[in-house]
Structure 1
Amino acid sequence: MDINGAKQFILQKQEEELPKHLTYHSINHIKDVYNAVCRHIEAANITGDDAILLQTAALFHDSGFMVQAQGHEEISCGFAKEYLPGFGYSQSRIDAICGMIRATKIPQIPHTPLEEILADADLDYLGRDDFQPISNSLFEELKNMGVVDSEAAWNQMQVRFFESHHYFTANAKAWREAKKQENLNTIIQKLTNQ
């Protein structure tokens, strides 16, 4: 499996083809999730094929946004099936990658440890210090798409999302849960003051 070739190819393709109105689902998000996956790989001592499959799934997981937001996970799987054989990925490995991509669909329902890692990496920012600017970029994107029309509606949506979300891996829980709760409390405080 040529992870370096696949990485260079799909990052460049997304850099060029992701719509510019996507302020959250941009190349920055792809790289952020990839970096989060790499932290999980290192912390859990994941090696060999599993590490490569996780990294590849992170790189492809939102590539479907190049086409459309609705059903982007299946479109992303389609891209994986179309392009990854050219980089030496077998059908069974592509199937595993597609399982990880599907595990990022909200609500997240991962079925394997690798799927749990990608699901957690995709929402890693919920429990980080840089949550607010990333959250703002998602608000802008959803406002542009007509999903939300006010900051109050956005904050209510975020509270519901936070309350239904949980991390799956022990590492994500250890790294992110406390700060995630802090971030939620900040949003609740904003709503109280609105």
Structure 2
Amino acid sequence: MDINHEDTEVLLTAAWFHDTGFSKTYKDHEDESKVIANRFLNELEVNNDFIDKVCNCIDATKIPQCPTNALAEVLGGADIFHISNSHFFYRKPLLRREWEVFCDNKLVDLDWHKLNLEFLKKHHFRTAYSIKVLEQSKQEN
């Protein structure tokens, strides 16, 4: 995508931190991830513009995804990459179990499959790469 060095650093940093909030909470873990990233980056005296960009990218991993710029679109797509490959069928039962344990959300098989189908229908990849490379596989899934 011809991303410059600084934006690559933003994306990598956001990717490292985007799920760290799970260490504190399950629900809305992205908000906690931003707190953790902010605290760590401030300790390193990273400039606020960089930190804001990292936090914006982390926000893009919330479901439903609503990225506000190209960098956020990249991380959002990467975070949900698995819906476009065969790992989707491996991860579905794992996610189902995760929801049962952490959210007390138990669904019968038909409802679980309908939920996943709706998710696939509603999700839209946004980057040129993901539209070109990932969308067809997502549709097959």
Query: One-letter code of the match for 1:126?
Result: I
Per-residue CA deviation, residues 63-84 of structure 1 (Å, 9 max, x unaligned), is 1111111221111110011111
Alignment of 1:22-171 (within 5 A): 44-145=1-102, 146-171=104-129
- Runs of at least 4 residues off by over 4 Å: none
Structure 1 residue 164, shift from structure 2 partner = 1.1
Question: Which 5+ residue runs of structure 2 have no aligned equivalent?
Answer: none
Where structure 1 has 5 or more consecutive residues not aligned to the other structure, the ranges are 1-43, 184-194
Aligned residue-pair number: 140
Q: Give the alignment's TM-score, normalised by structure 2.
A: 0.92
Distance in 2 between the 1:57 and 1:147 partners?
29
Q: Deviations for 1:121-170, whole angstroms, at most 9, x for unmatched residues?
A: 11111001222112221111112232233222211111111111110101
State how far apart, in whole Å, the 1-side matches of 2:108 and 2:99 are.
10
RMSD (Å) for aligned C-alpha atoms: 1.3
Structure 2 distance, partners of 1:116, 1:154, is 27
For 2:125 and 2:11, the matched residues in 1 are separated by 17
Identical aligned residues as a percent: 33
Deviation larger for 130-139 or 84-93: 84-93
| SS in structure 2 at match of 1:166 | coil
Q: What TM-score comes out, normalization by structure 1 length?
A: 0.68
Query: Distance between the aligned counterparts of 1:157 and 1:77, measured in 2?
Result: 28
Q: Which residue of 2 aligns with 1:32?
A: none
Distance 1:174 1:88 in 2: 39
